[in-house]
């Protein structure tokens, strides 16, 4: 399909795409663990093990494929790669909806992992259409899109899952299918032909992509910070349900409400406050404050003694969302226009690698913290580990920010 040329690329276009992507993802969150457990005969323990493996397979393949898709977007344009990623995700949801066995769920997640480059490519799109001084605000808008989709998606998934456990998968496929149509007929291309770069395997393979980050002045420090920061956040995500259920006796409904509050708070902070705050205090300072807030909030989750405290901490913790847009803005200023896709793909690969490591480590740590045969009872241990990781990320970010003010790099 020919690329639309009449419309000028703008953040509004990619905002809609991101909302629909996250909406589809959020819809399946409440029901996928239940479907996995159903395939394991109703055993919660075996279901949890299989669900962890399912997440790991997806993240591992995403780690391998994200840099490839990012480099392809530098060669062929963002829009085409986004369409490929959306098509793979839609197929994934349909296969899961019809899956007759656990093996088919793994097949579906493998497909989705390979094509899960939409987020990284959307970040490259944002870098294409915003001037360097406004990129933090643009990435904040992307965070708001994530918050909006995450606030609505799990609620829809929970409602549909009460009707039929498989119905949310088809609803998610419908959202992504609508997104594909939007991309095919409405979303304009953001990367002009004259700014594209030839595809090279040494940049596209995950390890080559990571090595390439070292060649761009200052980006390697930010990449290390990004990986450690994401490692802490994947630990939080993987034990939230287990921790709140064990510590406070939260029901699925209460957990869903907490996730909705996370989405709404994220949407408000990143959509309305990130731009003004970072324009006032600067991206470097905003990055450090965001990481400090994350470390503080993770510690708060670990020591909270009442369920209501978690809601208060969520609202405070939303200001940790300053870190992501600030870091993205600082990174993109150092990257040529024809390498934005490759760099965003490499960063997406690092996030995926964190998703392979973080969840099982958090689960094992949580199990050790509540095991009756251990000498300690510390269910908040995974959160303390996440706080330590955020502190390490803060120290690395301070080194990266001190390395000098980022400058806009021209394409080579």
pLDDT single digits (tens) 340-368: 777 777 777 787 788 778 877 877 787 77
Task: Note if the pTM is more than 0.85.
Answer: no
Q: Mark 179-217 as b/e (b = at least 16 C-beta within 10 Å).
A: bbeebeeebbbbbeeeebbeeeeebbbbebbbebbeebe
List CB contacts of 52: < 8 A, sequence separation 6 or more.
238, 359, 360, 363
Coil, strand, or helix at residue 196? coil
Q: How far is CA 148 from the centre of its chain?
A: 14
Torsion sign across C-alpha atoms 392, 395, 400, 401: positive
Enter the tokens of residue 251.
């029901």
List CB contacts of 113: < 8 A, sequence separation 6 or more.
57, 58, 59, 60, 61, 62, 65
Residues 79, 125: Cα–Cα separation, whole Å: 9
Kindly list the structural domains of the chain, giving each domain's residue range(s) and its CATH number in brackets, ordered by start. 11-187+213-401 (1.20.1250.20)
pLDDT at 412: 40
Residues 161, 149: Cα–Cα separation, whole Å: 18
Angle formed by the axes of helices 381-402 and 219-248, nearest 10°: 160
Whether 265 and 318 have beta carbons less than 8 Å apart is answered as yes
pLDDT at 395: 94
Most confident of 13-27, 89-103, 144-158, 352-366: 89-103
Residue 407 confidence (pLDDT) above 50:
no
pLDDT at 206: 67
Residues 86, 407: Cα–Cα separation, whole Å: 33
Residues 73, 82: Cα–Cα separation, whole Å: 8
Phi (first) and psi of residue 376, to 5 degrees:
-135, 160
Residue 6 confidence (pLDDT) above 70:
no
pLDDT at 408: 42
Residues 48, 260: Cα–Cα separation, whole Å: 23
- 4-18, 24-38, 118-132, 302-316: which range is least confident on average? 4-18
Residue 133 confidence (pLDDT) above 90:
no
Residue 174 confidence (pLDDT) above 80:
yes
User: What average pLDDT does this structure show over 157-177?
Assistant: 85
Q: How far is CA 85 from the centre of its chain?
A: 15
Coil, strand, or helix at residue 66? helix
User: What average pLDDT does this structure show over 40-54?
Assistant: 69
pLDDT at 18: 83
Nearest to 395 by CA among 229, 188, 253: 229
pLDDT at 303: 93
pLDDT at 98: 93
Residue 338 confidence (pLDDT) above 80:
no
pLDDT digits (tens, 9 = 90+) for 257-275: 787 888 888 888 887 788 8
Residue 327 confidence (pLDDT) above 60:
yes
Which DSSP category does 336 fall into?
A: -
pLDDT at 289: 93
pLDDT digits (tens, 9 = 90+) for 215-255: 666 688 888 888 899 888 888 877 787 788 778 888 766 77
- Residue whose entry in the numeric block shows the structure tokens 């390697």: 220
Share of the chain above pLDDT 70, in %: 87
Q: Mean pLDDT score of the chain, rounded to an integer?
A: 81
pLDDT at 163: 84
Q: What is the DSSP string of 14-82?
A: HHHHHHHHHHHHHHHTTTHHHHHHHHTTT-HHHHHHHHHHHHHHHHHHHHHHHHHHHHHHHHH-HHHHH
User: What average pLDDT does this structure show over 327-331?
Assistant: 83
Coil, strand, or helix at residue 108? helix
Place 113 in a pLDDT band, splitting at 50, 70 and 90.
confident
Enter the tokens of residue 71.
């480099």
Residue 1 confidence (pLDDT) above 60:
no
User: What average pLDDT does this structure show over 136-156?
Assistant: 78
């Amino acid at each position: 399909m020919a690329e639309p040329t009449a419309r000028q690329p703008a953040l509004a276009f990619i905002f809609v795409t991101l909302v629909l992507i996250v909406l589809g993802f959020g819809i399946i969150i409440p029901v996928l663990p239940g479907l996995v457990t159903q395939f394991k005969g109703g055993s919660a323990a075996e279901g949890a093990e299989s669900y962890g493996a399912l997440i790991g397979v997806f993240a591992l393949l995403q780690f391998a494929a994200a840099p490839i898709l990012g480099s392809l977007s530098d060669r062929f344009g963002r829009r085409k790669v986004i369409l490929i990623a959306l098509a793979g995700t839609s197929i994934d949801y349909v296969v899961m909806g019809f899956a007759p066995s656990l093996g088919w769920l793994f097949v579906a997640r493998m497909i989705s992992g390979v094509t899960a480059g939409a987020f990284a490519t959307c970040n490259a799109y944002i870098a294409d259409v915003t001037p360097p001084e406004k990129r933090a605000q643009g990435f904040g808008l992307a965070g708001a899109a994530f918050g909006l989709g995450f606030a609505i998606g799990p609620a829809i998934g929970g409602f549909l899952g009460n009707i039929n456990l498989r119905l949310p998968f088809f609803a998610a496929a419908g959202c992504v299918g609508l997104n594909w149509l939007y991309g095919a007929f409405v979303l304009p291309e953001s990367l002009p032909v004259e700014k594209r770069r030839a595809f090279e395997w040494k940049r596209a393979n995950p390890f080559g992509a990571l090595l390439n980050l070292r060649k761009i002045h200052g980006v390697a420090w930010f990449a290390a910070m990004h990986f450690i920061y994401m490692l802490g956040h994947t630990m939080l995500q993987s034990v939230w349900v287990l921790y709140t259920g064990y510590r406070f006796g939260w029901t699925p409904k209460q957990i869903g409400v907490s996730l909705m509050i996370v989405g709404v708070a994220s949407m408000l902070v990143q959509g309305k406050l990130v731009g003004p705050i970072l324009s006032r205090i600067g991206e470097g300072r905003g990055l450090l404050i965001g990481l400090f807030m994350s470390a503080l909030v993770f510690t708060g989750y670990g020591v909270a003694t009442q369920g209501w405290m978690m809601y208060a901490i969520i609202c405070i913790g939303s200001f940790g969302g300053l870190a992501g847009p600030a870091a993205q803005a600082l990174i993109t200023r150092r990257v040529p226009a024809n390498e934005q896709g490759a760099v965003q793909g490499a960063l997406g690969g690092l996030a995926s690698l964190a998703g392979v490591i973080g969840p099982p480590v958090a689960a094992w740590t949580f199990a050790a913290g509540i095991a009756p045969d251990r000498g300690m009872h510390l269910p908040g241990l995974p959160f303390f580990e996440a706080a330590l990781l955020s502190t390490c990320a803060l120290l690395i970010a301070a080194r990266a920010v001190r390395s000098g003010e980022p400058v806009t790099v021209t394409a080579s």
